[in-house]
Amino acid sequence: MNNLQDLRKPFPDHQISYLPKGGTKLAYVGHAALTDRLLDVDPGWTWEPLAMNPHGLPVMDDLGGMWIRLTVCGVTRLGYGHAGNKQGGDAIKEIIGDALRNAAMRFGAALELWHKGDLHLDAPVDGLAESTLQFWLDDFKVCATNEELRKSFTLALAAVTNDVDKTILIEAKDKRKKEL
């Protein structure tokens, strides 16, 4: 790895951790895995607090968080970190790690983990995602009646010939998937 685009590469499964939150598990990349990626991309990367007090210490905002500047490959982006209810030295480490992850996300690192849905659809084929076209092909195989096959084929044909809004097709596909 040697450029900013490499920050956007997905993290391998073994570098993704999970935090229980609200009955689900929140996926995130830890401080060590992110640091490893930053070092791979730019061994000279740096971060600094956005503000320092007269004693040379980072300034925390009124919420207990800290803004930082992260510089990678000569490009600087801001990030914000907060430690929730943690106190003391563990809070400081949490704030720094959170700020680094937040700033690195602005470079594209681990975006797929921050986003709550599909960040990028599959590569389009004539304007429609390949996975959507594959769904229609699979759907033909499970149609129980000629009427179901006709409806499915009509929607699929419209998808290929661009005769219908893609969002309508995707909604129909998703509804059909639930019915199966």
What is the tens place of the pLDDT at every residue in 136-164?
666 666 667 777 777 776 766 666 555 55
Ordered DSSP codes for 4-21: GGGGGSPPPGGGEEEEEE
As a whole number of angstroms, the longest Cα–Cα distance in the chain is 78
Q: Name the band, by pLDDT with cuts 50, 70 and 90, for residue 112.
A: confident
pLDDT of residue 70: 97
Residue 118: φ, ψ to 5°:
-85, 110
Contact 48, 69 (CB under 8 A): yes
Residue 6 is classified by DSSP as G
Residue 129 pLDDT grade (very low, low, confident, very high; cuts 50, 70, 90): low
Q: Which of 10-14, 75-79, 82-86, 124-128 has the lowest mean pLDDT?
A: 124-128
Question: Tens digit of pLDDT for each residue in 60-108?
Answer: 999 999 999 999 999 999 999 999 989 888 899 999 999 999 999 999 8
pTM: 0.64
> Average pLDDT of the chain?
80
Backbone angles phi, psi at 47, to 5 degrees: -140, 155
Q: Which of 119, 138, 117, 127 is nearest to 163 (CA)?
A: 127
* Better pLDDT: 33 or 125: 33
Helix H or strand E segment including 71: strand 66-72
* Percent of the chain's residues with pLDDT above 90: 43
The C-alpha atoms of residue 27 and residue 17 are separated, in whole angstroms, by 6
